Amino acid sequence: MMTRLASRLGARLFSLSGMTVLATALLLAGCQSTSQQDVDEGAQVSGSHFGHFPFKLRSDGKQCRANWQKAPPLQPDLWDRVQRRYELPNSSTNPRIVTERNWYANHQAYLDRMSGRAARYLYHVANKLEERQLPGELALLPIVESSYNPFALSRSQASGLWQFIPSTAKHLKMDMNWWFDARRDIPESTDTALDYLIFLRDHYNGDWLKALAAYNAGWGTIDRAVEKNRARGLPTDYWNLDVPAETRAYVPKLLALAQISRDPEAYGVHWAYIPDLPYFTEVRIPGQMDIAHAADMANISSDELHLLNPGISRWVTPPGGPHRLLVPVDQANEFAERIASLDNSGSTLFAGGQQDRLMTANPMVQEMERKATARQAIPAGARSYTIKAGDTLWSVAKREGVSADEIRRLNKMSSDTPLRLGDKLALPGKGKTVASNSSSPVSSGKAAPGKPVASKAAGGKTTYKVQSGDTLMAIARKHKLDVNDLARWNALDKNRATLKPGQLLTLYLKH
């Protein structure tokens, strides 16, 4: 394991507080102080907080400690501890997993950003998994859900690391009020997510893949898919269920991340080293407290305190609790001593005795809501489209006569933004004229088996019903089409697509 750790550290990066840190003993030993260049250029130097592993982050990405003559011993990699608990069935050749693995392998910058955020929270998640003896792969679930961003907010209003939608959170009795949202709170959301996952595991008799699918789609959706297959005499394992497109990709994403994290070099990926040390700890406070004042007392920035306590929606802690703050371990003792020394009788603790910020929202929550509002707003001249089961960005773009890039730009979406059932998309212009409001590109009514059904859209667009024994290549040859075009029109991998009898394919025939 030490050889593996050493090879990782030679080229492993992780990003924290917007800066890149090279985690090698060599650089730690060689960096004696902040360079004059940093001072001359006004570079900011910020600190990170792993107990017994203090370092400074310099703008050029190097770690510095002025009084270090040599590097301290490196702590074990936290990911190694997580990976020792991996236990879900995983196949390196499953085409659905391969597709997701290739995406992650081609998006190193995304993995770096995610790792920088995960560095704050992973130790807590890993400990909770060990306490409950749960699979280590569940530590990867916040990557799939939120990229380890506690302020992530989906179009369906799912929020926090674990992305609870309001209805599920209410069912699970999570507090959501003007002051506090437990969906974003690290301890509460993690405990609730693991409780819910255990319930789902037990509901599916220990089948973790179906439990994970149900976490994404709802256990009612998965139960109906299981019953549908059972009634038809088909296998009822996750891989054979007829589920929404997002859920089809959901479990493969998690398993792809498990494969990459276990052997990143095999896939040409740098997987961040995170020391196996606590990042934060809990300090009790006597009552409602101004966040800026608490940050000053803890000798950290307000941004850092908000990132560790993202459930707090205002500039002050909730009057009804929880009466605690998570602070970096290196500042915890000093902060606790200052709290204990305050002369108060449970009154509100505001900076300078001022309560003028009481009504002001946490700025990170404001930014989260601003982005969500911008995503939901339909610009003038655009039209609204509601995501339906089976939709992909490509299929919506083709059906509506616009490009996927246009949709991304209009909706301020990145290349990895998922589509969720019920989300609304803004579509540019008028697009194609379609005879029906239905999401299906074909007219109603049955088609003769194996015959293309003419769509009412222009441009030679037809729909083909897949027959037993059909392949993409055979269909392309039959209709004198390029197989690459056929795969692209239907968002399929031409080399790995599995067609099912009755499946509908979109074709654009030449006249």
Domain residue spans of the chain: 2-79, 82-267, 282-366, 377-427, 453-508
**Rounded mean pLDDT of 239-255?**
95
What would the 3-class secondary structure string for 437-496 be?
Answer: CCCCCCCCCCCCCCCCEECCCCCCEEEEECCCCCCHHHHHHHCCCCHHHHHHHCCCCCCC
Q: For residue 20, what are its two tokens?
A: 């890149």
* C-alpha 468, offset from chain centre: 38
Which of the two residues, 486 and 268, has the higher pLDDT score?
268
Q: Which CATH number fits domain 453-508: 3.10.350.10, 3.30.565.10, 3.40.50.2000, 3.40.605.10?
A: 3.10.350.10
CATH topology agreement for domains 82-267 and 377-427? no
- What's the pLDDT at 467? 82
Instruction: With a cut of 70, say whether residue 95 has pLDDT above it.
Output: yes
**Residue 358 DSSP code:** T
Most confident segment among 102-106, 175-179, 426-430: 102-106
> How far is residue 82 CA from its own chain's centroid?
18
Classify burial at 34, counting beta carbons within 10 Å of its beta carbon; exposed 0-12, middle 13-18, buried 19 or more: middle
- Give me the catalytic one of 145, 188, 246, 304: 145
Kindly indicate the confidence band of residue 105, based on its pLDDT and cuts at 50, 70 and 90.
Answer: very high
Q: What are phi and psi of 128, to 5 degrees?
A: -65, -35
- End-to-end CA distance of the chain: give it in Å, rounded: 63
pLDDT for 124 beyond 80: yes
* Helix, strand counts (H, E) of the chain: 20, 12
Region of 193 (left: φ > 0; alpha: ψ -120 to 50; beta: rest) is alpha
* pLDDT number for residue 264: 97
* pLDDT at site 373: 56
Q: Known catalytic residue: 227?
A: no
pLDDT given at position 494 = 65
CATH of 377-427, one of 3.50.30.10, 3.40.190.10, 3.40.710.10, 3.10.350.10: 3.10.350.10
Write the pLDDT tens digit of every residue in 273-309: 999 999 999 999 988 888 988 999 999 999 999 999 9
Do residues 276 and 270 make contact, with C-beta atoms less than 8 angstroms apart?
Answer: no
pTM over 0.75: no
| Burial class of residue 504 (count of CB atoms within 10 Å of its CB; 0-12, 13-18, 19+) | middle
Please answer whether residues 420 and 372 qualify as being in contact, where contact means their C-beta atoms are separated by less than 8 angstroms. no
**249-253: average pLDDT:** 97
Average pLDDT value for residue range 159-171: 95
Q: Phi and psi dihedrals of 148, rounded to 5?
A: 60, 35
pLDDT in tens, 393-422: 778 888 888 888 788 777 777 655 667 666
CATH topology for 82-267 is: Lysozyme (1.10.530)
pLDDT of 79: 97
Cα distances (angstroms) measured from residue 238 to each of 54, 209, 341:
45, 6, 56
Query: Among 247-251, 317-321, 458-462, which range has the highest average pLDDT?
Result: 247-251
Enumerate residues 6+ apart whose C-beta is below 8 A from 44: 59
